[in-house]
Amino acid sequence: MTRPARAVIDLQALRHNLQRARRAAPASRIMAVIKADAYGHGLLQAAEALAHTDAFAVAGVPEAVQLREANITHPVLALQGFRTHDELAAASAHRVQVTLHHERQLQWLEDTGLEPSLEVWIKVDTGMHRLGFSLSELKTVYARVQRLPAVKSPPKLMTHLACADNPLNPATQQQLSRFDQAVASLSGEQSIANSAGVLAFPQSHRDWIRPGIMLYGASPYIDGDARRDGLQPVMTLTAPLIAIKHCQVGDALGYGGSFVCPEDMPIGVVAIGYGDGYPRHASTGTPVLVNGARAPLLGRVSMDMITIDLRHIDMPQVGEEVVLWGAQLSVDEVARHAGTIGYELLCHGGCSVRREFVDDSLL
């Protein structure tokens, strides 16, 4: 990639956050969620750095196979399970655990002549209404899975929390009680907690936790502060300052001219835009860091440039690196200015630009 922006990935911080998850749920095992290219941080590099996890989770079987081909031997769960008969065969061949959430998948399993080795997580829909069997279907599904020679018995049981991003929302407690009722008479390992569950709902920890966003040092909460939760940001997104202009009072900046200079002022142009995963909806006032000091974004985000206010920056230099988010400026704060969540910024930013990996413990 030849774009000037880059994402610096701090592997030591990634490991720190894994330990943070371990401390939060000391009685549980950890399935580190590295779907979406490890939330933009690099699937294989993240998997290697997180070697102390007990297992990994990815979205689909193909990513799990990619991990196997890179000689990663941990248990790996495909959270969406197999989408085709071929993926089922691949999961079995590569010892990939699969989520079972749909009647169609169950039929494929019933028709297959695979070796008796597949580890299956039955997904229960306790209120998210995305993937999973309904509470009323669960007992029959469980019995059918138990009869399958291809599946290691007992099957495991999981659900996903819909509203844990707000710890005050009573929906989470409701989902936990529904799950407990539904699985009361069923044996098998259990898993419920995403990052928000790990940090705020100890009753959700069970046998396996599934932390994602917290590993990357961003907050799972709507108004969260990852630092306060003991997390360290992993990705720092930077791009160079490529021009400094001296605008006059009344000059309108960029597309639509949505920002009009209230006085004569220095404007910086930074070589990053929505084509590099910087959010187009970041509004005037979104902070960036120049020389460690905050400068507000002005006007609209272009495809590969943004304009910033340099009035309060001491001696800005063309060529210096501007930080869009990272160790000193939380991705969650930037996300709030763009009407989105840190998850989206990390995925888009990390997947759009060149990644560089640093590992303090190796220095």
Ligand X SMILES: *Cc1c(COP(=O)(O)O)cnc(C)c1O
Contact between 350 and ligand X per CB under 6 A: no
Contact between 33 and ligand X per CB under 6 A: yes
SS3 of the chain: CCCCCEEEEEHHHHHHHHHHHHHHCCCCEEEEECHHHHHHCCHHHHHHHCCCCCEEEECCHHHHHHHHHCCCCCCEEECCCCCCHHHHHHHHHCCEEEEECCHHHHHHHHHCCCCCCECEEEEECCCCCCCCECCCCHHHHHHHHHCCCCECCCCEEECCCCCCCCCCCCHHHHHHHHHHHHHCCCCCCEECCCHHHHHHCHHHCCCEECCCHHHHCCCCCCCCCCCCCCCCCCEEEEEEEEEEEEECCCCEECHHHCEECCCCEEEEEECCCHHHCCCCCCCCCCEEEECCEEEEEECCCCCCCEEEECCCCCCCCCCCEEEEEECCECHHHHHHHCCCCHHHHHHHHHHHCEEEEECHHHC
Contact between 20 and ligand X per CB under 6 A: no
Q: Which is nearer to ligand X, 79 or 109 (CB)?
A: 79
Contact between 195 and ligand X per CB under 6 A: yes
Contact between 220 and ligand X per CB under 6 A: yes
x/- string (CB under 6 A) for ligand X, residues 116-155?
----------------------------------------
CB of 80 to ligand X, least distance (A): 8
Q: What are the residue numbers of the active site?
A: 35, 255
Contact between 194 and ligand X per CB under 6 A: yes
Q: Which is nearer to ligand X, 217 or 220 (CB)?
A: 220
Contact between 60 and ligand X per CB under 6 A: no
Q: Which is nearer to ligand X, 38 or 306 (CB)?
A: 38
Contact between 217 and ligand X per CB under 6 A: no
Contact between 41 and ligand X per CB under 6 A: no
Contact between 160 and ligand X per CB under 6 A: yes
x/- string (CB under 6 A) for ligand X, residues 65-84?
--------------x-----
Contact between 210 and ligand X per CB under 6 A: yes
CB of 343 to ligand X, least distance (A): 6
Q: Which is nearer to ligand X, 144 or 210 (CB)?
A: 210
- What residues line the site for ligand X (CB under 6 A)? 33, 35, 79, 160, 194-195, 210-213, 220
